[in-house]
């Protein structure tokens, strides 16, 4: 019901842009801040903000960009990629994205080896085959199906790189 309602609102926005002849000169971005989980994996995680699983981290991202042909971006992306995409591709910023963001231009084809996910209390290094969750008092490593890895080894270089990246903008 909620998705249907949001879809109807988005339809009204697009209709209004079309009516005012602005649709062909307006970039429209539709996304979400998180996914929802309903214990599909039988691990006890429900709702959002309870895990860094694929179900909660994978969000929709639809971009309607006048003048760009439709395409499907199959590589891993991050919400951090929105700022560099808009600033360089739409507003003509010539600074390297690393000056102001942890992201990359969505259309560059650059693949992320790992992404940072964060909550109010912990953060995670999300790789294609594992998720390392770092808590204030320890860590856990989960496989691609979000099952705990027994006797995990902390990927220290990745944690160090993530801490460095987060310290660039979060103090």
pLDDT along the chain (171 residues), means of 10: 91 97 96 88 88 90 94 90 96 94 91 89 92 93 95 90 86 63
Amino acid 169: pLDDT: 77
Q: What does the radius of gyration of the chain's CA atoms come to, in whole angstroms? A: 18
β-pairing, 61-64 with 46-47? unpaired
Residue 161 has which token pair? 């790189």
β-pairing, 46-47 with 37-38? antiparallel
Angle at 140 (CA atoms; ends 38, 157), nearest 5 degrees: 125
CB atoms within 10 A of CB 50: 14
Cα gap 171→160, rounded to integer Å: 16
**Burial class (CB within 10 angstroms; exposed 0-12, middle 13-18, buried 19+) of 162:** buried
| Contact by Cβ (8 Å): 45, 37 | yes
Amino acid 171: pLDDT: 63
């Amino acid at each position: 019901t909620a998705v249907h309602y949001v879809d109807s609102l988005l339809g009204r926005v697009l209709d209004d842009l079309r009516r005012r002849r602005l649709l062909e000169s307006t970039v429209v971005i539709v996304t979400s801040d998180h996914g929802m989980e309903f214990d599909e994996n039988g691990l006890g995680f429900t709702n959002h903000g309870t895990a860094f699983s694929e179900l909660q981290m994978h969000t929709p991202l639809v971009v309607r960009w006048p003048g760009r042909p439709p395409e499907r971006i199959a590589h891993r992306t991050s919400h951090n990629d929105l700022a560099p995409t808009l600033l360089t591709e739409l507003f003509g910023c010539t600074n390297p994205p690393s000056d102001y963001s942890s992201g990359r231009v969505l259309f560059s084809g650059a693949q992320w080896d790992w992404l940072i996910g964060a909550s109010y209390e912990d953060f995670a290094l999300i790789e294609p085959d594992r998720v390392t969750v770092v808590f204030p008092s320890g860590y856990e490593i989960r496989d691609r199906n979000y099952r705990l890895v027994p006797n995990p080894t902390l990927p220290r270089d990745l944690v160090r790189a993530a801490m460095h990246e987060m310290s660039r903008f979060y103090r």
